[in-house]
């Protein structure tokens, strides 16, 4: 923020991140989500105690800084994932991805998956921050089915969280 003419102490940033996380957890508890720009707005609001409003000319730089961590410390991608997705595609199976994004926005996850050469295997990729809804809300599953051109009864969902993926 210093380059943008706004200065915060480390304590202000830490506090703002804690308050933002608490706010996001409350939003997520309702199976809703907000965009990464709205998350950045929350951080700025909490850090400045409402005295600074995010300017449009800051969006690109702040969004870039906010999404950078996934590329600095990338998440673990199961080494078998690419081969399984390739096999599914070769056998005519449509594959969709539904992701509750947390603090890493869909735009960054798309770039990460493309960099890892797996994005090409997904017919549909849905990210909660882009749709404004999260799993387990049935709307996100219906949206995936619609975009895949399938009836929900014809789809298998594989997840890793018993509360959110059912």
E-only strand ranges, 15-155: 96-99, 124-127
Does residue 159 lie in a domain region?
no
Cα–Cα distance for residue pair 64/47, rounded to 1 Å: 19
Cβ-count burial 147-161 (b if 16+ within 10 Å, e if not): ebeeeeeeeeeeeee
* Domain limits for position 30: 2-67
Structural domain count of the chain? 2
Per DSSP, the three-state class of 69 is helix
The reply to whether 141 and 108 lie within a common domain is yes
The reply to whether 60 and 85 lie within a common domain is no
Note the pTM of the prediction, 2 decimals.
0.88
With a cut of 60, say whether residue 1 has pLDDT above it: no
The reply to whether 136 and 88 lie within a common domain is yes
Does residue 63 lie in a domain region?
yes
The average confidence (pLDDT) of the chain is 91
Cα–Cα distance for residue pair 18/14, rounded to 1 Å: 6
- C-alpha distances in angstroms, 56 versus 8, 44, 51, 98? 19, 13, 16, 29
With a cut of 60, say whether residue 2 has pLDDT above it: no
Q: Which two tokens stand for residue 103?
A: 């603090």
The reply to whether 132 and 92 lie within a common domain is yes
Residue pLDDT, tens place only, 114-156: 999 999 999 999 999 999 999 999 999 999 999 999 999 999 9
The reply to whether 63 and 126 lie within a common domain is no
């Amino acid at each position: 923020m210093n380059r943008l003419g706004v200065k915060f102490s480390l304590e202000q940033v830490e506090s703002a991140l804690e308050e933002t996380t608490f706010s996001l957890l409350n939003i997520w508890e309702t199976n809703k989500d907000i965009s990464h720009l709205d998350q950045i707005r929350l951080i700025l609001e909490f850090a400045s105690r409402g005295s600074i409003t995010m300017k449009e000319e800051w969006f690109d730089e702040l969004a870039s800084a906010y999404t950078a961590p996934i590329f600095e410390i990338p998440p673990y991608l199961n080494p078998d994932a690419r081969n399984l997705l390739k096999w599914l595609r070769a056998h005519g199976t449509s594959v969709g991805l539904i992701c509750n994004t947390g603090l890493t926005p869909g735009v960054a996850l798309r770039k990460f998956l493309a960099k890892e050469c797996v994005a090409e295997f997904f017919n549909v990729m849905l990210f909660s921050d882009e749709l404004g809804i999260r799993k387990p809300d049935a709307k996100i599953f219906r949206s995936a089915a619609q975009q895949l051109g399938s009836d929900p009864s014809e789809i298998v969902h594989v997840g890793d969280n018993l509360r959110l993926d059912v």
